[in-house]
Amino acid sequence: MVGEYNENGVLEIIGVGVAPSTGMRRGVVVNIESTLASVAAAVEAAELMSGREVREVYCGAAGASVEGINSRGVVAVTGRGREITREDVDRVIEAARAIVIPMDREVLHVIPQSFIVDDQKGIRNPLDMIGVRLEAEVHIITGSVTTAQNLVKCVNRAGFKVDKLMLQSLAAARATLTSDERDLGCLLVDLGGGTTDVLVYSEGAPFFSSVLPVGGAQVTNDLSIMLSVPMDAAERLKRESASAWLESVDGDETVIVPGVGGRAPAETPRRRLASIVQPRMEEVFGMVQERVDKMGYWNRIKGGVVLTGGGALMQGVPELAQEMFRMPVRVGNPITLGGLVEEYRSPLYATAVGLVMLGAEESQPPESRGQRAAERPAKARQSEGSGTLGRIADWIRKGFF
């Protein structure tokens, strides 16, 4: 996904690239060469659509090794007149992140949840307040060092620099959740191909994050085994005909199952596909319930459940989730940013859109986001032009404007 600020300072999606992911399993790189080929193919497609040359990227991280921890830090306010400054906020966040983690893990994100000034709780932004003691409650997300290094290596060998690794569920939440859902408390379930990412928001900040090593690939595998068809045929059946809610399928509906090894295609009841898919999806949602129950966060979820990712497109998934979670469920499409709206308005692209949004926020300070595209900082993600025409345009711009 390629995005840029237009001349009015509005972020737009200008390029989308898709390629089969053949070198990863359950969010972890298992084949370097296949993964870098997939990365190169996807970025090349996005470059062609956008007309931009991509040099640096923001990359999503997932995998069962990702874990979230809540922590708290305390510092004394040292500013003049006991006024809380940016330095005090930075120090208290640094104190909160000073936790002991194993040598094989690294910190991906430190996200402030709320601040406490002299026992006054629930403060979102303590800057310029008066106090003696400042506390911060933060959510720390850690991941495996080797998993992250392998992912970065694939992207680097494909010819791009990884500016930052970001948790995929945070990106999906940025693209799909409303401010009301974040404040009320919301459960985000990102149903990906190799993993299912879980994120609980409460009072505007993440309180729990987890990654399950199951996803749509397991559903495809089940269909492949039970129907005795190749994986690509099973994937097509899952996308076009499968349902995760048996009650939504008419008893007389049938689908054509392709033959293997010269065997003729055969008809099979569509309810049979649903009877294969539903137990697996029940297992996935059951694991989500178990993880959230274990942490005791169900009482924080008052804004319902948001499903996103490619798995949310399967028929019957929202109905099954609503039955199991016993609360309102909706499918989360990415918010409209402008540009190629029809290309990315699907749960399939929620994480990629969120990475563009988070990357744009990281690359530009808030006060500069309204600047014209020509005034963007040097960290813009794409070069505006290359080759002879690009140099001529730069010369004209510098010489006459």
Give the burial string for 98-125 (b: 16+ CB within 10 Å, else e): eeeeeeebbebbbbbbbbbbeeeeebee
Instruction: Give me the CATH number covering residue 140.
Output: 3.30.1490.110
Degrees, nearest 5: CA angle 213-307-250: 100
Instruction: Identify whether residues 229 and 311 lie together within a single domain.
Output: yes
Instruction: Identify whether residues 283 and 205 lie together within a single domain.
Output: yes
pLDDT the model gives residue 399: 52
Q: Give dist(CA 126, CA 89) in Å, integer.
A: 8
Instruction: Identify whether residues 15 and 100 lie together within a single domain.
Output: no
Splitting the chain (401 residues) into consecutive groups of 10 residues, what average pLDDT does each group show? Answer: 89 92 84 91 94 92 85 90 92 93 90 93 91 95 90 91 92 94 94 92 92 91 93 92 90 88 87 94 95 90 94 94 94 87 88 93 61 39 46 53 49
Token pair recorded at residue 73:
């830090």
pLDDT the model gives residue 391: 54
Give the burial string for 201-212 (b: 16+ CB within 10 Å, else e): bbeebbbbbbbb
pLDDT the model gives residue 366: 47
Instruction: Identify whether residues 269 and 325 lie together within a single domain.
Output: yes
Number of domains the chain is built from: 3
pLDDT the model gives residue 384: 42
Sign of CA dihedral 149, 151, 154, 157: negative
For the chain, how long is the longest CA-to-CA vector? 83
CB-CB contact of 56 with 381 (8 Å): yes
Q: Which of 209, 173, 210, 208 shows the shortest CA–CA distance to 297? A: 208
Q: Please give the C-alpha separations between residue 175 and each of 93, 190, 337, in angstroms, as whole numbers.
A: 25, 12, 10
* Residue recorded with tokens 């010489």: 399
Q: Is residue 152 assigned to a domain? A: no
Q: Is residue 362 assigned to a domain? A: yes
Instruction: Identify whether residues 206 and 315 lie together within a single domain.
Output: yes
pLDDT the model gives residue 132: 94
